[in-house]
Structure 1
Amino acid sequence: MISSRSTEYINRKLAGTHMILLNFAGILSSEAKRGATWRDRTSHARQSIHSGVDGRGRDLTIYLAHGVKYGAVLEEGSPPHIIRPKNKKALYWSGAAHPVKMVNHPGTRAHPVLENTLKNNKNRLMENVSDWWASE
């Protein structure tokens, strides 16, 4: 049987772990925003990178995510593909010589800012949590 002092100690350690992860999530978010290698037009994609901690008790998960629909394309890139009009007969944009029926898009290169940020900080996060649990 676990004593109430032991339970209290474990609960304090779990609460501290949650706070360490919350603090680290903010650091990850800031680092990802600074390290984003894509060229901004509106800064919306960069500003919408967010992080946090999910879960309670022993099951805690730290996350870092894009907040825009096209976040996966920024992170993973896209293969060459054809763009066709949805609602009209042709595509046209400012600067085009004439309307076209389709565009052969060359694809986009990946900018894995979230993956790189997590990889670069994994050991530091694990050390912080390990040090917290090893301390008295």
Structure 2
Amino acid sequence: MRVEGGRRLTRQLRSLPDAQRKHVSDAIDKSLAEGVRVARVLVPERSGNLRDSIEAERAADGMSGRIVAGDDTKRGEIKAHTVEGGRDPASRGGKMDAQPYIGPTRSYLAKKFKNRISRAIRKAAKEAARHG
């Protein structure tokens, strides 16, 4: 999910005092954990390797994150993308229908994530205003 003005928002969130940043960081953690759970339910399962490789990745600043799939090898990354998007019949290995799991997770949880982050920002702003 992409937020319009996301860079500006991230810059503003970084400028919050640590006590208020914690509210937003907790909301991001909760959203990422929920996204991982839903993606693991939706992923097609043969051996369970792809399911087990789905994890949350936090940015260095702590104010953003993403859900990634596939192990650290190039092959694992290719497999995760192939399952998500499918494969063209002209490709080596033949046709494979898409079995999306990250996209539907994003669609299913987008509104919930947005509302959770909005509540955390409001809470942080109120707390910052209260404590001057």
**TM-score bracket for this pair, using the shorter chain length:** 0.5 to 0.7
Counterpart residue number, 1:34:
37
Counterpart residue number, 2:10:
none
Summarize the alignment of residues 35-74 of structure 1 with structure 2, pairs less than 5 Å apart. Answer: 35-36=38-39, 37-40=42-45, 41-55=47-61, 61-68=63-70, 69-70=77-78, 71-73=80-82
TM-score (norm 2): 0.57
Between stretches 66-75 and 22-31, larger displacement belongs to 66-75
**Alignment equivalent of 1:80, drawn from 88, 95, 100:** 88
Counterpart residue number, 2:97:
107
- Structure 2: gaps (5+ residues): 1-13, 71-76
Is the alpha carbon distance of 1:73 and 1:23 closer, same or farther for their aligned partners in structure 2, counting shifts above 3 Å? Answer: farther
Percentage of matched positions with identical amino acids: 10
Aligned length: 103
Distance 1:79 1:31 in 2: 28
- Structure 1: gaps (5+ residues): 1-10, 85-102
Q: Does structure 2 retain, via aligned residues, the 8 Å contact 1:83–1:104? A: yes
* 2:100 partner SS: coil
Offset of 1:51 from its aligned partner? 3.5
Offset of 1:73 from its aligned partner? 4.4
User: Larger strand proportion, structure 1 or 2?
Assistant: 1
Counterpart residue number, 2:115:
123
Q: Does structure 2 retain, via aligned residues, the 8 Å contact 1:49–1:67? A: yes
Is the alpha carbon distance of 1:132 and 1:12 closer, same or farther for their aligned partners in structure 2, counting shifts above 3 Å? Answer: same
Distance 1:78 1:26 in 2: 30
Q: Does structure 2 retain, via aligned residues, the 8 Å contact 1:73–1:110? A: no
